[in-house]
């Protein structure tokens, strides 16, 4: 267990390099289960979730080597097991992403149900409907879901909601299925395109990734390949807010500016100056900020994964800002913690009304989930005095060396290991 001690840190400045995207790396590592060769994945953020996914592949029989320079090599071999026990699945929600590849490659899979989490119930019905449409027999019991199909058959699948995970799982399952699969109302997030590019590199036939209709023509085999993970747009967005909230000036390198458009548009509306280069973005926050409204939506709408961090910034902008969360039903866990730091926020159903305050004040707070934790770190950078953020493990799940990167920009952050008793 660790905690952060953060002092007010005005005017962050300097250059930061963004790591590879966690939400790309996880499905890509799961997709290696489809290959019959050696895969090398570069620019992988070596986060707890990523290490857990590698452990899962090892458990299933693959040889996984984590190299020093944020690179992972995975050697395909015979898949020894087809089930994921509770102990492994409960470590990480994304473990469910091995279901599509396992079903497609070995014709059966049994995975512990992921269950809810701090931000909502997070059902998997759309994943299962997709597998069933491809001919799989699905059964559930004792906390597990099982899918079986001698050979998956291509199908036309309409998703009721453009779920990122369901699109990824079905796309992976379809790669080795017989015939053509069409996913309609598919998610269009950049991470879907990255996964599709990886699968195509391995020899899959996929068209339309990044649009709402993805067509996959099943092939007999997939080979190994080398792939570089796209930069993490949420990490980049978090550093954009770090620059704004501290009235700083930060150059953010290794970004795809197109992926950041929904975030940049809102930052500009607030009054933040943004300069774009080919693979970098420079944030300059000198002007007076204006309050804004935000509604989270699937890409290219405003990302739910940036909602909490924007709320931290809105908390110190004069006037009223409104946030509507449409993706997850319970994603306002950070509100009570931000209020402990002096923010003035009211929740009404899926909306949050934020009345800007002149200043926030340092307090003892708790990270309840990954992005909520990031929001508290950002708030602590502007809050007067010292803040203590407990349960940093949530933040470590999604940000690679966040405190080191922020310290290099001038932030005053210390990470302290504490024993469990003190946390209680």
Question: Which residues are designated catalytic?
Answer: 117
CB of 422 to ligand UD1, least distance (A): 30
CB of 161 to ligand UD1, least distance (A): 5
Cα-based distances in Å from 167 to 130, 161, 316, 418: 9, 10, 38, 40
Q: d(Cα 363, Cα 7) in Å, to the nearest integer?
A: 10
Q: What tokens were used for 251?
A: 């150059």
E strands of 90-152, at which residues?
Answer: 108-112, 137-141, 144-148
Using CB under 6 A, list all residues that contact ligand UD1. 23, 26, 94, 120, 122-127, 161, 163-166, 191, 304-305, 327-328
Judged by phi (left if over 0) then psi (alpha if -120 to 50, else beta), residue 70 lies in left
In the complex with ligand UD1, the residue whose CB is nearer, 123 or 179, is: 123
Tokens coding 31: 């997709």
CA distance 111 to 91: 13
Burial class (CB in 10 A: 0-12, 13-18, 19+), 346: exposed
**What DSSP letter does each residue of 173-184 carry, written as one string?**
HHTTSBSEEEEE
Give the angle subtended at the CA of 294 by the CAs of 12 and 377, to the nearest 5°.
30
Q: In the bound complex, which residue of the shown chain has the CB atom lying closest to ligand UD1?
A: 165
Give the nearer residue to ligand UD1 in terms of CB position, either 304 or 309. Answer: 304
Q: Which is nearer to ligand UD1, 143 or 161 (CB)?
A: 161
* Residue 23 vs 315, nearer CB to ligand UD1: 23
For 213, what's the count of Cα atoms within 13 Å in the CB-facing half-sphere?
4
Which residue lies nearer to ligand UD1 by CB, 48 or 122?
122
Shortest Cβ distance from residue 23 to ligand UD1 (Å)?
3
Residue that the structure tokens 């409960």 belong to: 90
């Amino acid at each position: 267990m660790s905690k952060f001690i953060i002092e007010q840190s005005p005017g962050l400045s300097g250059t930061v390099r963004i790591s590879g995207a966690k939400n790309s790396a996880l499905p890509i590592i799961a997709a290696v289960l489809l290959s019959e060769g050696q895969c090398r994945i570069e620019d992988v953020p070596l986060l707890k979730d990523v290490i857990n996914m590698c452990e899962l592949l090892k458990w299933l029989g693959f040889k996984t080597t984590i190299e020093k320079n944020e690179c992972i090599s995975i050697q395909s071999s015979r898949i020894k097991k087809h089930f994921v026990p509770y102990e492994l699945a409960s470590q990480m929600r994304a473990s469910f992403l091995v279901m599509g590849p396992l079903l497609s490659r070995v014709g059966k899979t049994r995975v512990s149900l992921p269950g809810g989490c701090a931000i909502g119930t997070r059902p998997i019905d759309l994943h299962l409907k997709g597998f069933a449409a491809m001919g799989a027999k699905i059964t559930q019991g004792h906390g597990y879901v099982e899918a079986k199909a001698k050979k998956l058959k291509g199908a036309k699948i309409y998703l009721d909601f453009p779920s990122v995970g369901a699109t990824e799982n079905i796309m992976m399952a379809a790669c080795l299925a017989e015939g053509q699969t069409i996913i309609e109302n598919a998610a269009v997030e950049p991470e879907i395109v990255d996964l599709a590019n990886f699968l195509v590199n391995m020899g899959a036939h996929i068209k339309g990734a990044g649009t709402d209709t993805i067509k996959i023509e099943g092939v007999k085999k997939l080979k190994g390949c080398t792939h570089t993970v796209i930069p993490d747009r949420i990490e980049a967005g978090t550093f954009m807010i770090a620059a704004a909230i501290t009235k700083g000036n930060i150059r953010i390198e290794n970004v795809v500016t197109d992926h950041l458009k929904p975030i940049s548009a809102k930052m500009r509306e607030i009054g933040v100056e943004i300069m774009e280069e080919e693979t970098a973005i420079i944030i300059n926050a000198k002007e007076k900020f204006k309050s804004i409204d935000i509604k989270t939506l699937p890409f290219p709408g405003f990302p739910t994964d940036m909602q909490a961090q924007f709320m931290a910034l809105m908390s110190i902008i004069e006037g009223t800002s409104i946030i509507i969360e449409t993706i997850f039903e319970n994603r306002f866990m950070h509100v009570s913690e931000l209020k402990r730091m002096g923010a003035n926020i009211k929740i009404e159903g899926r909306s949050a009304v934020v009345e800007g305050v002149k200043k926030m004040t340092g307090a003892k707070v708790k990270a309840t989930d990954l992005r909520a934790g990031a929001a508290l770190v950002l708030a602590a950078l502007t809050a007067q005095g010292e803040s203590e953020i407990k349960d940093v493990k949530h933040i470590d799940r999604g940000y690679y060396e966040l405190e080191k990167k922020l310290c290099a920009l001038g932030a005053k952050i210390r990470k302290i290991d504490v024993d469990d008793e003190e946390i209680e």
